[in-house]
Amino acid sequence: MFGYTAEQVRASCGYHPEVADAAALAAAVPGVQALFVGPARLEHRDIFGEVRQLADPEVELPEGVYWFSEPAQTRAMVVSRGASAGMSQFVENSTLPDDHSLRDAEAWMDHLWALGADVPAPKFAINDDAVVISTGRDHPVRGRRFSAGKWIYELRVDGRMVSFGEDMLTGLHFSDTVHDWIKQSPDTARRLSATLTREKLAGAFTDTLFSFRATRTIFRAYQFRPVIRMLESGKSRILIADEVGLGKTIEAGLVWTELEARKSADRVLVVCPASLVAKWRREMEDRFGFQLVELSGSTATDFEQRAREQRLPRRFAYVVSLERFRMWESMDELSSLIGPLSLAIVDEAHNMRNASTASHQAGALLSDWAEALVLLTATPINLRNEDLYNLLELLAPGDFGDVGSLELQLAPNVVLNRVGSLLTAPGASGAARQRALDEMRSLSMGRPLIRRSEFASLRELVGRDQLSARQIVQARRYLNELNVLSSVFTRTRRMEVDEKKAVRQATDAQVVWTPAESRFYDEYVTWCRNRAAAAGQPAGFAMQMPLRLASACLPAARDAVLRWSTPEEVTDEDSTAVPLATAKPPILRPHVELLKAAEAIAGVDSKFDTVVPKLLEVIDSGRQALLFTFSRPTLAYLEARLRDRCRVAVLHGGIDRDRRNQVIADFRAGLYDLVLANKVASEGLDFEFCSVIVNYDLPWNPMEVEQRIGRIDRIGQAEERISILNVWCRAALDDRIKQRLLDRIGVFEGSIGALEPIVTGQLKALQDVVFDFELSDEQRAAKADYALAAIEEQRSSLEDLATATPFLLGASTDDVAGLERNLIASGRYVGAAELRHLLEDWATLCQAPSPVVVDGGAGLRFRGNRDMADRLYRLVVDERLSREEAAPYERALRNEEELHLVLDQETARTSQTMDLLSARHPLVLAAANVPEHRRARFAVVRVTAQGELPPGTFVVQLAVARWQAPRPGQEIWGTAVNAEGRLVGDEYVDALLARLAAGELAEGRQPLPQSLDRCVHTLQELMDDRMLRENERRRNEISSLIESRRVLLENQHERARASIRARRRTALERGKTRGVQLFDSQLARREEAHRQTMRDLDRTAAPDVSVSPLAVCVLEVSE
């Protein structure tokens, strides 16, 4: 191994016996002049400077690598044919004597250099595409060697390695001018379709939504709001504050999917509470195909070691608990070693809103570390702007100044929200709305907004007395664009999106135990108390799980007693929010009375007998049901007793993923009447097709009840009412308190998501009350009422917040209204059908069998070849895919095995196991990676009018618009004219892109228009005009942004200056001369920093929209 640094080599002469390490020398010291003595393949010719070769030397020097450094240049001699290699030598130039053997070697290099033949730089690099002149086909270069004075290249042709001389190959030639394109024969519609799809995939266009129809989720327009906000704003950081149950995890997954499709999610870290780690791993894999590796135990140790050794893969996705992350002492150091994260996601981010906590410091580390940051919380503020400010500061450090600056920036939102409320207010006139909007002129942060084009458009629109539904939607979009938080904050409330919300109908099934069951329970409680006493622990600490098992299922508790030898640990798989304090139960044999009581209830189960008739009545009515319990023993018991009465299945954490997915798919297909589950197995899954929940036992945390009900009380629930059967027994210690808690906070009537931080904060007090055996029943009830009253008092405060929040922040679904319809109509997404056509085109180019559409268009059978496998592997070499991501597909392609792909999002969602074809699928990435000369730039295509467009012949030019200011981005622009060269509407461009996404571009039938050249000239003029107008619009936008920033900075500077001056006056009054001098210096530094900031602001980049042509097509619109 060559272990010398560039500095060492440049100051020395030396000899290294390993010929293969010559490339390492050249890599260390770029531009090395090299002489190769003897045969050599010279694969690494590119990294050397001037190179010569002497194949048959006249002298036998020891084989190896020699180098000779001078102040201006380093020279190397690589001897591959000579005497046996010797020992390494390294001598600094300053100490090298004239009679040293390296001096002799240097003299030989001088002599042999004149005899050597020049080795020119190769024309093609490894993995380049080269065209074989004789066939006109291009193939990837897999190897090269310099032989007989010429470069020889190894190309993979039809699955075989074939050698070609450099003169037998040529590079890829293509034209990028529109007029050259139309002089060529038109390409096919299919080729043009594949080209445009490749451009969409490569371009990461701002106006294209790659996550649309690309995941195993139900389409909910509001869930795309964060993605759209990030794309429109050009910012990659956002706070998602939707209410509980609306799918914040899905929204984060859509953001991840969007960034992945845009090649901006190579390194991802998810941080969440420990109780949610399993959920995140499950949901990301099942719904989005992302595999998260948990950083815990040995995995965390391995991660840290790899990070220190610089051996982490280029692409990774990890999840770590917040509890571990904030206590990971070396994480700050590791973050600098690892380099920037592409994306960080933080769930339950309200844990970071207190600036004095370790969690907030962990958030600050993530903010510095990650390029894109997504914070999720249902409760971003707590009646204080400081909470919101602290979270926003994590997202965009410095953008909002301080709390005072944030309040200044939020002031225009008050005006905007007032205007928003007047849009639909009865009797509100246009003049009233304009007066309300004009209040913006009196605000320091409002005046810059007035200069925005959106403000002028909004003022004109709201000035009309009567507004149509479409106009109201447009007005709300303008309001959102002017909202100062719109680019970093989204909040959706359930009332805004759930128009057909099912009514929750709760029914109690109160169990009355027989005397024998009551006796067993009392003896069981006594046993638990004695076990706790024997261990010297409070019963509530040591015995919560055993006592909860008895409340849930007496037969399961009876079995635990009768099978007792050593205590079995009963775990709470249900708990996700507040871990119940538990300890390992102490060993103490069941006493005689308990054993007798257990024998006496053999075959007796009043709870089961109470529930089953109600359950079977529901099933007989044709409804499906989910039954929840916290423990696996109860699940096993219920399954054994119910399997002969109905079609039943079980879900719990011990069931492997494939079996779990099959159960879910079968349940959805109606093959089961009842599924028995615990929280671990069902969390995050959608069961909107089911309308009955049975709480066979009640968890302590109401949020867990809410999450249970949330499995079926979801948007998409078809039933007008959902039934909730709550089973509880008054004689059980904990059941009484839990039932009263759940009733009083209204969990069975509606979502209580916003109550989560309040309720969880009081649970410990309630648990302590229930398991305090020193209390009488009356004392226990009184103390429980006290804790419940505290919850209700805080709930009242929260309701005040719920009223204030939308006024402060603004919230409306109008910004995503009609999203699905508009995307389909404009084609601004990547459709499954166009991806199918892309794979078909790829198969044609690689001479593989054409893919076969199956299952009524919902599936695709695809068989590749070695050429395709090689092209897929190039993505691994280029580090665009990891080996793990590419391996199964590369193997199948190379072995020509059939792959089964799903084109339909809903089919993939309901199956959970099928391979969904999307923009980020490895096969799609490989199919998109073809050379330019294989792309079609001109074609004649045909679409049907579908009652939307007047028929005729049109010419459409598509182009890519790019810009850097005020935020980087690019879009597909299109312009259309008719056959006579007259401008027509954008609907023809939209129709072209819509049919592209739908896979409906057909071959044209008509001859080319005679005026085609003139039409193209007109299209270019129209495109130039649009570019100039867009630059002017952006110039005004930048000016407005600069003014807003200037006002904010001046305000912030003035308040900081006033604070320093106040402290200076105090020091002066107290006679502290040294303090006065310090404050004077501080004030001077502050003034200079402010002046520099303002100078930087004045240098803000000007608009720079540029346009490059993409394609031209003749568009035939037929009836």
Range in 204-213, 352-361, 697-706, 896-905 the model is least confident about? 697-706
Phi and psi torsions of 991, nearest 5°? -65, -40
What is d(CA 989, CA 976) in angstroms, rounded to the nearest whole number?
7
C-beta neighbour count of 950 within 10 angstroms: 11
* 911: pLDDT strictly greater than 90: no
Write out pLDDT tens, residues 866-889: 889 988 998 988 888 888 899 999
Kindly report the length of the chain: 1119
pLDDT value of position 270: 98
Query: How many Å apart are CA 1102 and CA 1099, to the nearest integer?
Result: 9
Using a pLDDT cut of 90, give the percent of the chain over it. Answer: 40
**pLDDT top residue among 1038 and 988:** 988
pLDDT of residue 826: 87
Specify the pLDDT at position 775. Answer: 59
pLDDT (tens digit, 9 = 90+) per residue, 250-281?
A: 999 999 999 999 989 999 999 998 878 888 99
For residues 689 and 727, the answer to whether their CB atoms sit within 8 Å is: no
pTM: 0.70
**Residue 650: per-residue pLDDT:** 94
**For residues 129-143, average pLDDT:** 85
State the pLDDT at residue 575.
41
Average pLDDT of the segment spanning 1027-1048: 81
User: Directed axis angle between helix 544-552 and helix 515-535, to 10°?
Assistant: 170
The better pLDDT of the pair 126, 1103 is held by 126
The overall average pLDDT reported for the chain is 83
335-363 mean pLDDT? 91
| pLDDT higher at 307 or 683 | 307
Taking residues 634-656, report their average pLDDT. Answer: 91
Q: Helix, strand, or coil here: 155?
A: strand
Task: Give me the amino acid identity at 371.
Answer: E
Q: Residue 1037 corresponds to which tokens in the numbers above?
A: 């936008």
Measured over the CA atoms of residue 308, residue 309, residue 311 and residue 314, the dihedral's sign is positive
pLDDT of residue 927: 94
Instruction: Quote the pLDDT of residue 764.
Output: 52
Tokens representing 386? 């400081």
Distance CA 480, CA 486 (A): 6
Q: Residue 751 pLDDT more than 70?
A: no
Q: What is the phi/psi pair of residue 225, to 5°? A: -60, -45
Cα(257)–Cα(270) distance, rounded to whole angstroms?
14
Q: Which CATH number fits domain 221-399: 1.10.357.10, 3.40.50.10810, 3.40.50.300, 3.40.50.1370?
A: 3.40.50.10810
Q: How far apart are CA 231 and CA 167, in angstroms?
A: 48
φ, ψ of residue 1002 in degrees (nearest 5): -105, 165
Classify residue 474 by burial, with Cβ atoms within 10 Å: 0-12, 13-18, 19+: middle
- Give φ, ψ of 1071 to 5 degrees: 75, 20
Q: How do residues 556-583 score in pLDDT, each as one tens digit?
A: 999 888 887 544 445 544 443 333 344 4
Who has greater pLDDT, 796 or 521? 521
Q: In what order do the strands lie in the sheet with 898-902?
A: 852-854, 859-863, 898-902
- Supply the pLDDT for residue 331: 92
Can you give the pLDDT at residue 1083? Answer: 87
Tokens (6 digits) for 920: 């980020």
Contact 230, 236 (CB under 8 A): yes
Query: Which whole number is the average pLDDT over 126-148?
Result: 85
pLDDT of residue 338: 93
CA distance 854 to 836: 12
Q: 407-431, pLDDT tens digit by residue?
A: 788 888 888 888 988 888 888 999 9
pLDDT band (50, 70, 90) for residue 784: low
Work out the average pLDDT over 440-468: 88
Q: What is the pLDDT of residues 90-130, one digit of tens each?
A: 999 989 898 899 999 999 999 999 999 999 989 998 888 88
475 closest CA partner among 454, 444, 490 = 454
- SS3 call for 674: strand
Q: How far apart are CA 424 and CA 27, in angstroms?
A: 69
Measured CA to CA, the distance from residue 1000 to residue 832 in angstroms comes to: 12
Residues 924, 926, 931, 934, Cα dihedral to 10°: -50
Burial 524-561 (b: 16+ CB within 10 A, else e): bbebbbbbbeebebbbbbbbbbbbbbbbbbbbbbbbbb
Tell me the average pLDDT across 127-149.
Answer: 85
Return the domain boundaries, the chain. Answer: 6-118, 129-170, 221-399, 408-487
